[in-house]
Amino acid sequence: MQGPQQSRPAAPETLESPVLAATVPAPRDGDAELAQSADDLDTRAAEQEDIADQERREESAAAVAEARQSTGPAAPGYDPAEREAVLKVMRERRDIRNGFRSDPIPHEVLLRVLEAAHHAPSVGHSQPWDFVVIRSADTRRAMHELAVRQRDAYAKSLPKGRAKQFKELKIEAILDTPVNIVVTADPTRGGRHTLGRHTQPQMAPYSAALAVENLWLAARAEGLGVGWVSFFDEREMVRALGLPEHLEIIAYLCVGYVDEFPDEPELLQAGWSKRRPLSWVVHEETYGRRALPGEEPHDLLAETVAQIRPLDAKALGEAWERQKRMTKPAGALGMLEIISAQLSGLSRQCPPPIPEPAAVAIFAGDHGVHAQGVTPWPQEVTAQMVANFLGGGAVCNAFATQVGAEVCIVDVGVAADLPATPGLLPRKIRAGTSDMTTGPSMSRDEARQAIEIGIETARDLVAAGNKALLTGEMGIANTTASAALISVFTGADPAEVTGRGTGINDETLARKTEVVRRALELHQPDPADPIGVLAAIGGFEHAAIVGLLLGGASLRTPVILDGVSAGAAALVARAIAPEVLAACIAGHRSAEPGHVAALNKLGLRPLVDLDLRLGEGTGALLALPLVQSTARAMHEVATFDSAGVTEK
């Protein structure tokens, strides 16, 4: 009896905290019905419920108080060597796709790994997993075919800049591994009353995913590599494997011995993505109050600004030297030589990384000043154009496809409810700003929130592997706010910097100029208080672009500026952190007069000058290949020495 009992896995622990389980009864199945027919309940029943609730709360409070008063030593943790072993296996677990060996896996090794998986926590102790161990070459070939089809479909959906990278990636090792394991979840296991699954049916697949993690860690400790393949249509796979239809497939794992475990995740090594620092994701008490344990909460804007540094002098010097040795007359690449030196100084590398893949962040918002008749276009065009961007039908989509960039739309303040759509980040602060001619466009707090959204967008896009960011915006009436911002930071008269935006007649232009003048007279914005200026006369998209610029600069990632709104935002960003310009490249010069004034003040020379006045990131997208070309030239152009070309 002893033997089999010892090898039988111990009971998996439950996801429910024992304290909570003891003091707060799990919701009962009838609760939903009770709540739905609440109106029919007589008051006595309701009172009884109240009393029961009160008793439960008191019991719970008593239990917490008792826990606090407990004396004697707490249960010990592991000794340092054991603890380090546990942490080490978590750090060194890898998703492996390359370098598998065909060596067989001994039964006792696989058994230990499966037992570890079977020890996973599960909702209500329901243990919803099953493990189907596949060794047959025929079955693996069938699975491989399914995965190849999905891989091709995914590759087709990618922007060109990403697709190039993806082509180099191996995404599965189905045929290279001796064992494949399918981990399933049975959502019916545990019956109707599974504790903790009452309101969260997803707890069954979550539990099975925890079994996958246990399996993965145990495999790592055995020296077994595991690759989780998710390039499958789940239902198709259920049918192909002849699994019972009520099961969900949680993971398809390729398992085998490997030549080595890479120090870093393969996707990180391939530049597909970057590791997000822990400090970005730990919040104290409320979401957004980021603080690591023992640290004071840090202010996202202040932290970002503190990380912005000037161009690296050494890499800059190396870039100038390299330019001189490249097989071309000195200075023959004109402005592009300056850009390549900037990219070197920014990345602290010479030659600099080629800024690909790239993403354009299009911030969309509406403007209270629209009420002043500054544009003939109705406000709803903002939301309609956002829908057009998401459907792929706008100029920015065509240009992005042409240059291989990703389009990312961020709703920071559109005056309409936008349905959840892939590619749309819902970050609405308010449904449009207020009218700047009658009061501030937004509160200081809203301005900061919008800046933080821009910073977080930069963080997300850079962590997702983008090596260049492009600004874009959409907001009917936003050229009025842009003109007002530019007037404040350049000192130019509103008449010099107010333009025709989407296209207006002389009468509307005169009114628009007066609107800008009135707003400035009302607020008397102080350029030394850039957030105050944004709050008084800016738009949500301007503030978010400020954040994108600061975020990009703090991550030493180039940001290509689009038109007049980006120019206005860059003036604000520079007033917050002068070194932000180290990361900024002026993509183009817009036909708006304010844009020239802004670029002159910033000392930025635009790469493209084609009388565009569209926005949406279109000018920045056109400039992207120029920026990429200059970096590529640094990598690929021979030197006079190496090519044997005589210098003058």
Ligand X SMILES: O=C(O)c1ccc[n+]([C@@H]2O[C@H](COP(=O)([O-])O)[C@@H](O)[C@H]2O)c1
* CA-based radius of gyration for the chain: 30
Instruction: Output 452 or 562, the one with its CB closest to ligand DMD.
Output: 562
* Helix segments in 26-135, DSSP class H: 31-36, 43-69, 80-92, 107-118
Mutual angle of helices 540-554 and 478-490, in 10-degree steps? 60
Is there a catalytic annotation at residue 616?
yes
Does residue 592 interact with ligand X by CB under 6 A?
A: yes
Residue 616 Cβ vs ligand X, minimum distance, rounded to whole Å? 6
The CB-nearest residue to ligand DMD is: 615
Residue 426 Cβ vs ligand X, minimum distance, rounded to whole Å? 19
Which SS3 state, helix, strand or coil, does residue 424 take? strand
CA pair distance 545, 571, nearest whole angstrom: 11
Given ligand DMD, ligand X, none, residue 487, with its beta carbon under 5 to 8 Å by kind, binds: none
CA pair distance 146, 236, nearest whole angstrom: 8
Instruction: Output 214 or 471, the one with its CB closest to ligand X.
Output: 471
Catalytic residue among 59, 616, 636, 647: 616
How do beta strands 224-229 and 406-413 pair?
unpaired
Question: Which of 352, 475, 494, 530 touches ligand X by CB under 6 A?
Answer: 475
Residue 400 Cβ vs ligand DMD, minimum distance, rounded to whole Å? 14
Does residue 558 interact with ligand X by CB under 6 A?
A: no
Residue 270 Cβ vs ligand DMD, minimum distance, rounded to whole Å? 35
Taking phi first (over 0 means left), then psi (-120 to 50 degrees means alpha), and beta for anything else, what does residue 79 get? beta
Residue 220 tokens read as 């790592």
Q: What letters, b where the CB count within 10 A reaches 16 and e where it falls short, cover 467-499?
A: bbbbbbbbbbbbbbbbbbbbbbbbebebebbbb
Site residues for ligand DMD, 445-504, by CB under 6 A, read 474, 502
Q: Which stretch binds ligand X (CB under 6 A): 205-213, 394-402, 415-423, 587-595?
A: 587-595
Residue 592 Cβ vs ligand X, minimum distance, rounded to whole Å? 5
Instruction: Output 113 or 396, the one with its CB closest to ligand X.
Output: 396
Given ligand DMD, ligand X, none, residue 538, with its beta carbon under 5 to 8 Å by kind, binds: none
CA pair distance 225, 258, nearest whole angstrom: 6
Given ligand X, ligand DMD, none, residue 562, with its beta carbon under 5 to 8 Å by kind, binds: ligand X
Does residue 595 interact with ligand X by CB under 6 A?
A: yes
H or E element: which one contains 515?
A: helix 506-523
Sign of CA dihedral 258, 260, 265, 270: negative
Does residue 473 interact with ligand X by CB under 6 A?
A: yes
- Of 621, 47, 140, 120, the residue nearest 358 (C-alpha): 621
Instruction: Output 273 or 502, the one with its CB closest to ligand DMD.
Output: 502
Does residue 471 interact with ligand X by CB under 6 A?
A: no
Does residue 614 interact with ligand DMD by CB under 6 A?
A: yes
Question: Which of 105, 311, 468, 476 touches ligand X by CB under 6 A?
Answer: 476
Given ligand X, ligand DMD, none, residue 621, with its beta carbon under 5 to 8 Å by kind, binds: none
Residue 379 Cβ vs ligand X, minimum distance, rounded to whole Å? 9
- Burial of 303: CB neighbours in 10 Å, binned 0-12, 13-18, 19+: middle
Which of the residues are catalytic? 616
